[in-house]
Amino acid sequence: MSLKWVDSLDVALELLEAYPEVEPQNVRFTDLYEWILALEDFDDDPQRCNEQILEAILQCWMDEK
């Protein structure tokens, strides 16, 4: 399954698995953006990302943590 920007919860779960030691509330958007692009299953246009998308992913990550 390839992940897209709109898959907030699925992306957050992948981040939780990839970075279990990270406290998501301390993550900068620039780092979050790079980490998402580096996920093996992520396959979407980097230009389609915006602050609202990153906020949604970060919120899901905090909720799951």
What CATH number is associated with residue 18? 1.10.10.600
Count of other CB atoms within 10 angstroms of residue 7: 19
In a domain, 59, yes or no: yes
In a domain, 3, yes or no: no
Q: Model pTM greater than 0.85?
A: yes
CA–CA distance, 26 with 5 (Å, rounded to integer): 21
Provide the 8-state DSSP code for 43. Answer: -
Whether residue 64 contacts residue 11, with contact meaning beta carbons closer than 8 Å, is answered with: no
> Domain range spanning residue 44?
8-64
Number of domains in the chain: 1
Per-residue pLDDT of the chain (65 residues), as tens digits, is 799 999 999 999 999 999 999 999 999 999 999 999 999 999 999 999 999 999 999 999 999 99
| Longest Cα–Cα distance in the chain | 28
